[in-house]
Amino acid sequence: MKKILFLIPLIIGCTSPKEKSELDKLAKYEGNYEYVNKTTLDIIASELDTTLYAVVDNAKYPLKHIALDSFVNIANIPVVFERDKSNQIIGYKTDGQKFKLISSDIEEMEMFPRKELFQNPDNYVYQKPKETSDGLKTGLLKEEFNNPEPIINMVKETIKGNFPDVHSILIYKNNKLVLEEYFYGYDETTPHQLRSATKPFIGGILGITVDQGFIKSEKDKLLPYLNSRYAEIANLDKRKKEITIENFLTYRHGIDCENNNPESKGNEQSMMQSKDWVKYTLDLQMIGEPGVSSSYCTGCALTLGSLVEIATDKKIEDFAKENLFEPLGILNYEWTFEPNQASLNTFSQMYFTPRDLIKLAKLFKDGGKWKGNQIISKSWIDKTFNMDKGDYGYLWEHKYFVVDGQTYNSYLASGNGGQKINILPELDMITVFTGGNYNSYQLYGKSTPPNEMIPNYILKSVK
């Protein structure tokens, strides 16, 4: 789930006297401002790269300076700050709307990966992760990797800023947490937004719904289950009536919905302008037969979340808390599932700590079991990972890496900004990355740092 707001520069370094002067100028715009849907945002000037950022829900979106009080966002829409008669900033206007400055007070945000080591990354010293009461055993890198040096170098490169806005790196190998590193002020207690990495866990929750008999089978037709809430569906033809729950789980829906295609009526940005995102998805025209080819569509996961609510007659957050999160001992999280414009800033996404993401991934890796308890049926997990190379399972993606001629299979939960949860079964390994590189592909045609860090550093270290 993504939201395109601001332009991301790649300038990394410390401020020179000239940059200090520029930083002082940018600091005059700092403050807490009104934002859309009666929310607020902070404007912050960063010492790291002498750039002005808008911060929404702890996600920062840079503004590119054009002239005087004028900036542009990622869509090249002007963001112009306004002043009063005494030349003080009083607000900004953009896209035909005006927003007032509420206060000059802003919440502090760490702009350096690790400020104390930024100039001296070689002073970094690896430490074994702490063992806590969360049920994860910990171990040493050198005991689980033949050559841990590339992983150590990866952490140093992150500290230098060469992998910007990576917020956490965790590696779980042979049932031990062997690396746990945080950056930009994040730590083990901070729930991080998942964006679209939420979707595979909705798939798991749906699996529990099927396991408990609220839904007979994922092979069932989808629309009859939704009839009580969505009785009138547009563009209803024979093909749409044949869509199964499994078709949505595997993105083989046949509807005009493809996230990365601006021409698709169901792309995420178009969907988010509607009042009811599930209704919008269900109303889309069919452009193919269901069950044939996959097309990544956010509306599918949101529809399946609503399906859980309809089938169980419970809010999905409550059902998940009782049947998934609490059994795993996951208590420090946030989730409000509301697939409509009330979620324009939060996208109905989950927020979890990286250690809890390890636990969720371990549950899937271990066939649905946690501490001897079967949380999700093994049959559902097996079907989840029964996918073609590079395709989708039950809202998971098959991802593979080729390193030195060796192919490594993985199952991926991925979210905009660099949220990457990879299960690599043949290596008995899980990697978790969280980050803030929002919309990097749209800007630069390149993927987020973890897609480079995993093959070039972590997989270079395996036995």
CATH label of the domain that carries residue 50: 2.40.128.50
Specify the pLDDT at position 2.
Answer: 43
Half-sphere exposure of residue 292, counting CA atoms within 13 Å on the CB side?
A: 9
Straight-line distance from the first to the last Cα atom of the chain, in angstroms, rounded to the nearest whole number: 35
* Number of domains composing the chain: 3
CA separation for the pair 12, 27 (Å, rounded): 18
Residues 130 and 156 reside in one and the same domain = yes
Tell me, yes or no, whether 6 lies in a domain: no
Q: What is the pLDDT of residue 8?
A: 31
What are residue 63's DSSP bridge partners?
52
Domain membership of residue 54 (yes or no) is yes
Encoding tokens for residue 120? 């001296």
**Last residue of one domain, picked from the residues 263, 296, 329:** 329
Per the domain annotation, does 300 fall within a domain?
Answer: yes
Give me the pLDDT at residue 446, please: 65
266 and 319 part of one domain: yes
User: Is 380 a member of any domain?
Assistant: yes
Q: Are residues 317 and 365 in the same domain?
A: no
Ramachandran area for residue 373 (φ above 0: left; ψ -120 to 50: alpha; else beta): beta
Q: Rounded distance, CA 352 to CA 320, Å?
A: 13
Regions of the chain short of the pLDDT cut 50: 2-14, 444
Domain ranges, residue 294: 198-329
89 within some domain: yes
Amino acid at 272: M
At CA 250, angle to CA 245 and CA 251, rounded to 5? 95
In 48-135 the beta strands, taken as DSSP E runs, fall at: 51-56, 59-67, 70-72, 78-83, 89-94, 97-103
d(CA 31, CA 105): 6
CA-to-CA distance for 358 and 381, rounded, in angstroms? 16
Q: Which of 56, 76, 103 is a domain's end point? A: 103
Statement to judge: residues 208 and 264 lie in one domain? yes
- What is residue 345's predicted lDDT score, i.e. its pLDDT? 87
The four Cα atoms 365, 59, 190, 162 give a dihedral, to 10 degrees, of 70
Residue 335 domain-assigned?
no
Among 276, 297, 329, the domain boundary falls at: 329
Residue 437 forms beta bridges with which residues? Answer: 417
Q: What is the DSSP letter of 456?
A: I
| pLDDT at residue 82 in the model | 98
The pTM of the whole model exceeds 0.75: yes
Same domain flag for 42 and 134:
no
Verify that 301 and 209 share a domain, yes or no: yes
Taking the alpha carbons of 215, 219, 224, 230 in that order, is the dihedral positive or negative? Answer: positive
Q: Are residues 91 and 57 in the same domain?
A: yes
What is the C-alpha radius of gyration for the chain, rounded to an integer number of angstroms?
23
For 410, the token pair is: 């993985």
In a domain, 1, yes or no: no
